[in-house]
């Protein structure tokens, strides 16, 4: 992505004012599978910002430094809004602190280059989730403000999808090609597995709490929803396989097309949210390309 593709959109969605245990099409199963992603976002994004900014002074390319700053500003706004999102999950009784705490402990490893490789791997997962979300072309079946918020986050994840991998390439420039490749994909294999296990555990935990029970049939329906239809986990896993290609980059033509489609849909979704919640309209600032803002 070019720096001008990374756009700062300071929008307040304040999901905490509209908690909803089945905001995705009234379907608690699909909702918990998306909420199980949301739980991991605040501790994850704080870690990503630290991991990339640690190298800001060592990077000679001013374009990449500008991208890191744009990346950090987008992720900081995501964290702010997702903290409110997780407040909404607390409001319906979820033990958010326990789940966020588990993720924070998993990310306690701050070894500099490894933390960049971990960030690249999780950015791949968020890029894949975002691509799936935009490609599904959700409409009014997703309750506001969740609809506008997930679109906003998805568009921006694709906009900054290549920044972490560009930083990884810069900080490992003295490594041999095979070493750089193996370190990247070996780290990803562990991260993808850990993220998937978190997703299943958190999803089932929230499903049990929201339904007041968890039967074998519920677990089977959870697996069907996640892996078959609509199959969020399967679709993300298939996209993640691309990460194992040597020289992989997430910013291909298909991603750029999806990002532009998502941007157009985001305008519609935010306008709809502002119509429904007019008291929040003033919280939206003008979008600013990071090249002009940093
Ligand atoms: Fe994000
Ligand atoms: Fe991100």
Domain that holds residue 205: 3-293
Query: How many residues does the structure list for the chain?
Result: 294
The DSSP 8-state label assigned to residue 242 in this structure reads: G
Query: What distance in angstroms lies between residue 207's CA and the mean position of ligand 1's atoms?
Result: 24
The closest ligand to the CA of 40 turns out to be 1
Residue 160 CA, ligand 2 centroid: distance in Å: 7
Over 50: is that where the pLDDT of 286 sits? Answer: no
The DSSP letter of residue 9 is: -
Q: Give the pLDDT confidence of 84-102 residue by residue, as tens digits.
A: 999 999 999 999 999 999 9
**Distant-in-sequence, close-in-space partners of 183: CB < 8 Å, separation ≥ 6:** 113, 117, 172, 175
Supply the CATH number for residue 163's domain.
1.10.620
Total count of domains within the chain: 1
Q: Rounded to the nearest whole angstrom, what is the distance from the C-alpha of residue 217 to the centroid of ligand 1?
A: 34
Alpha carbon distance 269, 262 (integer Å): 10
State the Cα torsion 127-249-171-185 to the nearest 10°: 80
Structure tokens at 176: 């041999």
pLDDT digits (tens, 9 = 90+) for 215-231: 999 999 999 999 999 99
Helix axes of 28-38 and 232-241: crossing angle, nearest 10 degrees:
40
Reference 34, options 283, 175, 235, 216; nearest CA is: 235
Q: In this predicted structure, what is the pLDDT of residue 289?
A: 54
Cα(247) to ligand 1 centroid in Å equals 24
Q: Give me ligand 2 centre to Cα 140, in Å.
A: 26
90 within 8 A of 96, measured Cβ to Cβ:
yes
Report the pLDDT averaged over residues 167-176. Answer: 98
Give dist(CA 129, CA 233) in Å, integer: 9
What pLDDT shows up at residue 293? 36
Instruction: Return d(Cα 58, Cα 54) in angstroms, integer.
Output: 9
pLDDT at 40: 96
Percent of the chain with pLDDT strictly greater than 90: 90
Q: What CA–CA distance (Å, rounded) separates 143 from 117?
A: 35
């Amino acid at each position: 992505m070019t720096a001008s593709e990374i756009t700062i959109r300071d929008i307040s969605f304040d999901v905490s004012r509209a908690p909803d245990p089945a905001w995705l099409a009234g379907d608690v199963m699909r909702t918990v599978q998306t909420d199980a992603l949301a739980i991991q976002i605040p501790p994850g994004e704080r870690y990503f910002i630290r991991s990339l900014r640690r190298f800001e002074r060592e990077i000679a390319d001013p374009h990449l430094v500008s991208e890191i700053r744009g990346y950090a500003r987008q992720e900081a706004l995501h964290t702010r809004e997702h903290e409110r999102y997780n407040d909404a999950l607390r409001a319906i009784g979820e033990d958010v602190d326990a789940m966020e705490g588990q993720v924070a402990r998993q990310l306690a490893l701050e070894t500099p280059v490894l933390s960049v490789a971990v960030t690249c791997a999780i950015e791949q997962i968020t890029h894949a989730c975002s691509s799936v979300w935009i490609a599904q072309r959700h409409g009014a079946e997703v309750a506001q403000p969740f609809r506008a918020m997930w679109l906003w986050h998805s568009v921006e994840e694709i906009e900054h999808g290549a920044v972490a991998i560009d930083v990884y390439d810069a900080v490992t420039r003295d490594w041999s090609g095979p070493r750089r490749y193996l370190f990247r994909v070996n780290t990803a294999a562990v991260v993808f597995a850990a993220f998937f296990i978190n997703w299943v555990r958190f999803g089932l935990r929230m499903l049990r709490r929201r339904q007041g029970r968890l039967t074998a049939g519920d677990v089977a329906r959870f697996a069907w929803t996640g892996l078959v239809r609509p199959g969020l986990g399967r679709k993300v896993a298939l996209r993640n396989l691309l990460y194992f290609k040597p020289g992989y980059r997430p910013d291909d033509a298909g991603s750029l097309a999806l990002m532009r489609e998502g941007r157009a849909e985001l305008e519609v979704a935010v306008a709809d949210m502002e119509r429904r919640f007019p008291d929040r309209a003033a919280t939206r600032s003008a979008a600013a390309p990071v090249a002009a803002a940093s």
